[in-house]
């Protein structure tokens, strides 16, 4: 792992990086070497939304990139993998998640009133 200074350099060297293969306004094809990733594992929760917005292949490249960068950090820092769970990102930014869900319900025609549960 000392050959690469960052995880992004490893991903670029391996060909698993989001690229902008465009020249003179024309898009060139890019390749992807990888395999399917389960919905519940690392990056699975974020992939579902990305797949809906960008498409299956781009979502797979993004998840493969995340996995490779995580492996780089595990090897370079000599730590074990720790699965944080599906709801980890929701807990980090609770206010933003709440606001987005309220806006989605209001777009569907509902009136939303939030009441916080007592501890």
- Give CA–CA dist 31/15, Å, rounded: 8
- Measure the CA–CA gap between 78 and 81, rounded to whole angstroms: 10
Q: Domain extents for the chain?
A: 7-85
Greater confidence (31 vs 8) lies with: 8
pTM: predicted TM-score of the whole model, two decimal places: 0.56
Q: C-alpha distances in angstroms, 89 versus 23, 24, 53, 55, 96?
A: 36, 39, 19, 22, 11
Which of 39-53, 84-98, 103-117 has the highest mean predicted lDDT (pLDDT)? 103-117
Give the torsion sign (CA, 38, 31, 8, 26): negative
Q: Residue 36 pLDDT > 50, yes or no?
A: no
Mean pLDDT estimate for the chain: 78
């Amino acid at each position: 792992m000392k050959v690469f200074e960052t995880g992004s350099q490893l991903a670029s060297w391996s060909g698993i990086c989001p690229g902008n293969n465009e020249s003179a306004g024309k898009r060139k094809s890019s390749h992807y070497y990888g395999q399917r990733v389960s919905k519940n594992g690392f990056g699975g929760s974020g992939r579902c939304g990305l797949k809906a917005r960008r498409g299956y292949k781009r979502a797979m490249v993004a998840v493969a990139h995340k996995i490779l960068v995580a492996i780089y950090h595990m090897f370079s820092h000599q730590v074990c993998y720790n699965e944080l769970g599906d709801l980890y990102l929701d807990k980090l930014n609770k206010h933003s998640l709440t606001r987005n869900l309220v806006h989605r319900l209001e777009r569907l025609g509902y009136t939303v009133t939030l009441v916080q549960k007592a501890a």
